Structure 1
Amino acid sequence: MYILMVRLKVKADRVEDFIKASIGDAKGSVLNEPGCRRFDIVQAADDPTSFAFTEVYNDEAAFAAHGEMPHFKVWQEAVGDMFDGEVGVSFCKPVFPRGDGNWDSYRAHIVDDPYFASSLHVIHAPKFVKEEHLDAFIESVSKDGVGSTHEEQGCLRFDVYQNVNDPTELYLYEVYANPDAFEYHKGTPHIKQWVEDVKDMYDTSRDGGARVGRNVWPPDNWAWSSGKPTW
Structure 2
Amino acid sequence: MSIYLTAILKSKKEKIKELKTILDDMVLNTRKESACEKYELQQCLDDETVFIFHEIWKNQEGLNAHNQQPYIKNFAEKVPDLLEKPAEIYLAKLV
Q: Measured at CA, do residues 86 and 78 of structure 1 come closer, stay the same or move farther in structure 2, by a change above 3 Å?
A: closer
Identify the residue that residue 30 of structure 1 maps to in structure 2. Answer: 31
Q: Does 1:14 align with 2:53?
A: no
Following superposition, the deviation at residue 75 of structure 1 comes to 2.1
Aligned length: 94
1:109-140 CA distances to partner (integer Å, 9 max, x unpaired)?
Answer: xxxxxxxxxxxxxxxxxxxxxxxxxxxxxxxx
**TM-score, normalization by structure 2:** 0.90
Gaps of 5+ in 2: none
Identify the residue that residue 53 of structure 1 maps to in structure 2. Answer: 53
> Is the 8 Å Cα contact of residues 21 and 78 (structure 1) preserved in structure 2?
no
One-letter amino acid matched to 1:35: A
One-letter amino acid matched to 1:23: D
Identify the residue that residue 64 of structure 1 maps to in structure 2. Answer: 64
Identify the residue that residue 79 of structure 1 maps to in structure 2. Answer: 79
RMSD of aligned residue pairs (Cα, Å): 1.2
- The structure with the larger Rg is 1
Identify, as 1 or 2, the structure richer in helix: 2
Q: Does 1:5 align with 2:6?
A: yes
One-letter amino acid matched to 1:24: D
1:143-193 CA distances to partner (integer Å, 9 max, x unpaired)?
Answer: xxxxxxxxxxxxxxxxxxxxxxxxxxxxxxxxxxxxxxxxxxxxxxxxxxx
Which stretches of structure 1, 4 residues or more, deviate above 3 A after TM superposition?
none
Higher RCO (CA-CA < 8 Å; seq separation 6+): 2
Report the secondary structure of 1:27's partner residue. Answer: helix
Identify the residue that residue 93 of structure 1 maps to in structure 2. Answer: 93
Gaps of 5+ in 1: 96-231
Q: Percentage identity across aligned positions?
A: 23
**TM-score, normalization by structure 1:** 0.39
One-letter amino acid matched to 1:14: K
One-letter amino acid matched to 1:55: E
